[in-house]
Structure 1
Amino acid sequence: MEPVTSSSAAGRKRLPAKVMASVAVPSGAKVSAAVLDLESGASAAYGEDTFDTASIVKVDILATLLLRAQDAGRRLTATERAYATKMIENSDNASATALWHAIGRAEGLDAANERFGLSATSGGDGDLWGLTRTTAADQLVLLQQVFGAQSLLSAASRTYVQGLMEGVEADQRWGVSAAAVGSSWALKNGWMPRSATGLWDVNSIGRVTVDGAGLLVAVLSKGTVSQAEGISLVEAAAKAAVAGFASAS
């Protein structure tokens, strides 16, 4: 993968291509990764491709729901909270569909994302929220709304989403967490086979702690022949991106 120059308050830099070159990308597959240091704001991304979100959009759906609730001066209802828990911790699709309708589907998601600062994300048609299109760099913008202090979401809303992302069920604790040093991480994964090709979209976004630093990491992939191959690719890319980011800092 070719490195993409990043810019931030900490200045501009180019991450070493040799770091991501160590990631074995299966023939026909693509992967993109992005990393941001929560303290300095420095960030960088590899690859500029657009990917289907699959279930990582569930974080965006919840962030949108919380923003709309804040605008209305209300808390989430008990039903909304139940759906949110199942949607994030268990990746329950029926709960995601219920909240997708609650936020106004793609129109509601896109409106919130414009406010959040996402510029390359568009909601899926109809009830196809998993076909929302996004980039790794845009997912960092979303993660900053969840984990950063400069956010449209209140501290209570951010803490709520973070807690759910820390509590994903055991069989979903893969992905960007592979780049963490220790057990401090919060994530949401997404995975789905494409009916037309049988190939998989496998994605992972979240926060990891490395040498005491909080890093936001997003890795998106498409075109692997199985979910397992996609998971291996995402985890290898997350590790390489974090290592390359650290070496360039």
Structure 2
Amino acid sequence: MITRSDNDAAVRLWKYVGPVRMQAFLDLAGLRDTVLSPDGFGLTQVTAADELRQLDVYTTDPDVLTPEHKAYGLRLMAEVEADQRWGTPFGAPPGVTVHVKNGWLQRATHGWRVHSLGVFTGPTRVYRIAVLTDDDPTESYGIGTVQRVSRRIHRVLAEQAGEDLGRTLPGTPDVTAPETGDGSVPAVGER
């Protein structure tokens, strides 16, 4: 859990924890469809269902983390820096606290992969959203897709809860991403 993306720190953590302990955590959390990559965290294969199970660890699953660890993780996710708070928070209604974790990776195959996970906590409810994309032509396109999907989900949930739809945040999806990949393909403008 981080407040700003830091691949160097993630690599250090990946090496420190190691695949055996990482797999033990996945098993404990019930992430049956996640396949760890031997080449590093960014290439791990995951499903949206498993990402929701991961978010359950911070919301409804009492067996994986202590209440203190849950609160710590959610606090960090609520403090993600403004330029990385895109994705599932888009369209969230006022009155909920937004907890977000985003990931993005450009690869020679499947274009940009842009993922966003969100936990939304309020006085009367808690809900989770996981949106995963691949084959995006640009990072901005992926972010825009995630945000359009998220806005619709928030709107439907607000309708189901009988909330005033005028209270949901308006706006246009952010499509101004820096388009910086992992180096496996040339950056936009270098082709």
SS for the counterpart of 2:90 is: helix
1:194 aligned residue: 107
How far did 1:247 drift?
A: 5.4
Structure 1: runs of 5+ lacking an equivalent: 1-58, 60-87
2:48 aligned residue: 136
Letter in 1 for 2:134: K
Letter in 1 for 2:37: G
Q: Equivalent of 2:70, from 153, 158, 163?
A: 158
* 1:118 and 2:31 are equivalent in the alignment: yes
Letter in 2 for 1:122: V
Task: Tell which has more relative contact order, 1 or 2 (C-alpha 8 A, sep 6+).
Answer: 1
C-alpha distance in 2 between matches for 1:138 and 1:121: 7
SS for the counterpart of 1:219 is: strand
Q: Equivalent of 2:14, from 87, 100, 109?
A: 100
Write the deviation string for residues 3-36 of structure 1: whole angstroms up to 9, x where unpaired.
Answer: xxxxxxxxxxxxxxxxxxxxxxxxxxxxxxxxxx
1:11 aligned residue: none
Question: Does the 8 Å contact 1:189/1:204 carry over to 2?
Answer: yes
Question: Does the 8 Å contact 1:181/1:210 carry over to 2?
Answer: no
How far did 1:160 drift?
A: 0.9
How far did 1:224 drift?
A: 1.1
* 1:90 and 2:4 are equivalent in the alignment: yes
How far did 1:213 drift?
A: 2.4
How far did 1:119 drift?
A: 1.1
Question: Does the 8 Å contact 1:185/1:206 carry over to 2?
Answer: yes
Letter in 2 for 1:225: P
Letter in 2 for 1:204: S
The aligned length equals: 160
How far did 1:221 drift?
A: 0.4
Write the deviation string for residues 82-138 of structure 1: whole angstroms up to 9, x where unpaired.
Answer: xxxxxx11110111111111211x332222111111111111113x21111111111
Letter in 1 for 2:32: S
Aligned-residue CA RMSD in angstroms?
2.1
C-alpha distance in 2 between matches for 1:143 and 1:200: 23
SS for the counterpart of 1:192 is: strand
C-alpha distance in 1 between matches for 2:44 and 2:109: 17
CA gap of 1:111–1:241, structure 2 versus 1, over 3 A, is: same
TM-score with structure 2 setting the length:
0.76
Give aligned-pair identity as a percent.
Answer: 32
C-alpha distance in 2 between matches for 1:116 and 1:131: 20
Letter in 2 for 1:190: G
Structure 2: runs of 5+ lacking an equivalent: 162-191
2:183 aligned residue: none
SS for the counterpart of 2:89 is: helix
Letter in 1 for 2:107: R
Question: Does the 8 Å contact 1:107/1:123 carry over to 2?
Answer: no
SS for the counterpart of 2:33 is: coil
